[in-house]
């Protein structure tokens, strides 16, 4: 088994913290891993990336080959596109949709989202907003990690254990808020997966998930059914596009999708 992961974002968004949790979860699972040094500028605003290679036997090479990464976890949408050449054809992108415009030539966001949502396997979450709701505005990385959790080669319990270990020195409030952020990301991702399993196209599901409000608990099945029916209608793609373009935050009330048009 080989599982290569690209982590990316900008300085101050917790790429190193995400790597810590993943590395320790891999050890808990009895797996081998290699992670070269974090690349980029450590100060807030500079692009930062890390590569984590996980396997069930010793890993010989530090760096991920082009087209072999199984997952990319990004805390900034443009940064997720920067490393697409490393992603396998069946690889997944998990990203925040909130731009952090740290460079003068930052691309037009409409074009950015057009490329992002054209990817065959993408989970896009409003990690910045969900982190604030969880009580830790800097926990976007934990939201994104939660979104990827069910795709990673180790248990959710192990990830949560190592989130606790990472943040325990900062106190119980910080532990609790980061775990809540992680669980919100997981709920968002699992909701998107449930929509797709019911026949909703991935690009439609991704746009809707990015604008919905999630709690730190799984979304009830009746809510999944209600949203699926609305998004599978003839105008489902238009509804999803309008939901995302509006930038409004929508609740998960099953009556909401019936009103969208």
Using the predicted structure, report yes or no on whether residue 49 has a pLDDT greater than 80: yes
DSSP structural state of residue 107: P
pLDDT of residue 106: 86
Angle at 154 between CA 152 and CA 158, to 5 degrees: 120
Instruction: Name the residue among 182, 186, 180 with its Cα closest to residue 218.
Output: 186
pLDDT of residue 41: 52
Residues 99/109, Cβ–Cβ less than 8 Å: yes
pLDDT of residue 257: 80
DSSP track, 185-254 = HHHHHHHHHHHHHTT--HHHHHHHHTTB---SSPPPHHHHHHHHHHHTSTTHHHHHHHHHHH---B---T
Q: Which residue has the tokens 């992603």?
A: 87
pLDDT surpassing 60 at residue 248 = yes
The pLDDT of residue 171 is 96
State residue 39's pLDDT score. Answer: 57
CA separation for the pair 139, 64 (Å, rounded)? 26
By C-alpha distance, which of 73, 78, 67, 35 is closest to 54?
35
Contacts of 250 (CB under 8 A, 6+ apart): 211, 212, 213, 243, 256
pLDDT at 87: 95
pLDDT in tens, 27-43: 999 998 887 766 555 45
Distance of alpha carbon 220 from alpha carbon 194, whole angstroms: 11
Lowest mean pLDDT among 15-29, 32-46, 114-128, 163-177: 32-46
The pLDDT, as a whole number, for residue 105 is 83
Q: What is the pLDDT of residue 178?
A: 97
Quick: pLDDT tens for 114-162.
999 999 999 999 999 999 999 998 999 999 999 999 999 999 999 999 9
Q: Is the pLDDT of residue 177 over 90?
A: yes
Query: What is the tens place of the pLDDT at every residue in 188-219?
Result: 999 999 999 999 999 999 999 999 999 999 99
pLDDT of residue 40: 54
Cα separation, 86 vs 93, whole angstroms: 11
CA-to-CA separations, 248 to 129, 185, 211, 244, 259, in angstroms, rounded = 12, 18, 7, 8, 15
Q: Which residue has the higher pLDDT, 50 or 194?
A: 194
Helix (H, G, I), strand (E, B) or coil at 89: strand
C-alpha atoms less than 13 angstroms from C-alpha of 23 in its C-beta half-sphere: 16
The domains located in the chain, with CATH, are 2-259 (3.40.920.10)
Structural contact between residues 76 and 96, judged by C-beta atoms closer than 8 angstroms: yes
Mean pLDDT of the chain: 90
Q: What is the pLDDT of residue 37?
A: 60
What is the arithmetic mean of pLDDT over 172-185? 97
User: Which helix (H) or strand (E) element contains residue 259?
Assistant: helix 255-259
Q: How many CB atoms lie within 10 A of CB 55?
A: 17
pLDDT over 90 percentage in the chain: 70
């Amino acid at each position: 088994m080989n599982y290569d992961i690209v982590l990316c974002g900008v300085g101050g968004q917790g790429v190193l913290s995400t790597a810590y949790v993943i590395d320790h979860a891999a050890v808990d699972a009895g797996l081998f891993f290699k992670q070269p040094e974090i690349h980029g500028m450590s100060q807030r605003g500079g692009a930062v990336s890390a590569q984590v290679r996980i396997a069930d036997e010793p890993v010989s090479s530090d760096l991920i080959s082009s087209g072999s990464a199984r997952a990319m976890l990004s805390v900034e949408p443009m940064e997720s596109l920067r490393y697409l050449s490393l992603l396998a054809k069946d690889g997944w992108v998990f990203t925040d949709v909130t731009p952090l415009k740290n460079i003068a030539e930052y691309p037009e966001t409409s074009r950015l989202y057009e490329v992002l949502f054209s990817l065959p396997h993408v989970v896009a979450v409003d990690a910045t907003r969900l982190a604030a709701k969880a009580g830790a505005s800097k926990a976007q990385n934990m939201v994104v990690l939660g979104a990827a959790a069910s795709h990673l080669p180790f248990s959710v319990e192990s990830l949560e254990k190592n989130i606790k270990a990472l943040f325990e020195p900062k106190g119980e409030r910080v532990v609790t808020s980061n775990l809540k952020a992680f669980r919100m990301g997981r709920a968002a991702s699992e909701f998107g997966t449930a929509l797709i399993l019911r026949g909703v196209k991935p690009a439609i599901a991704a746009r809707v998930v990015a604008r919905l409000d999630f709690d730190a608990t799984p979304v009830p099945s009746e809510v999944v059914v209600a949203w699926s029916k609305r998004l599978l209608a003839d105008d489902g793609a238009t509804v999803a596009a309008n939901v995302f373009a509006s930038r409004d935050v929508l609740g998960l009330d099953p009556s909401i999708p019936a009103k969208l048009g």
